[in-house]
Amino acid sequence: MNTSPTDPLRQAVVSGDFPAVLRLWEEYAAAIREEIGRGVCTQARMAEAAEFLDWARRVVLCNRAQTQTQLNTIHAARQYGSSPTQPPSLVRASL
């Protein structure tokens, strides 16, 4: 099974463990900086990092939109003096 160096980062993003995301990103970025310093960083490595950042941005934006919808539902229900007819769904922990 092929694994990508970004797999642990992706798992941390999906699980919402943002302290882990930050720690893993710092390690990943340090490795890239070291490769750049040695002159061995490839175009593929840079494309891998760019693809991860694009993916993570989309996941976080979707999570934010879902959370905003939940907040809007709660706000609207309170305006009418009732609670939502069903509890807000939980944010998915995996894709």
Task: For 36-65, give one letter per residue: b (16+ CB within 10 A) or e.
Answer: eeeeebeeeeeebbeebeeebeeeeeeeee
Judge whether 86 lies within some domain: no
3-state secondary structure at position 88:
coil
Judge whether 55 lies within some domain: yes
**Cα–Cα distance for residue pair 44/60, rounded to 1 Å:** 24
- Structural domain range at position 41: 7-79
Judge whether 2 lies within some domain: no
Judge whether 84 lies within some domain: no
Judge whether 49 lies within some domain: yes
Q: Is the pTM of this model over 0.85?
A: no
pLDDT of residue 20: 97
Q: How many domains does the chain have?
A: 1
Judge whether 51 lies within some domain: yes
Judge whether 28 lies within some domain: yes
Judge whether 87 lies within some domain: no
Instruction: Of 15-24, 32-41, 65-74, 79-88, give the lowest mean pLDDT range.
Output: 79-88
**Cα–Cα distance for residue pair 46/12, rounded to 1 Å:** 20
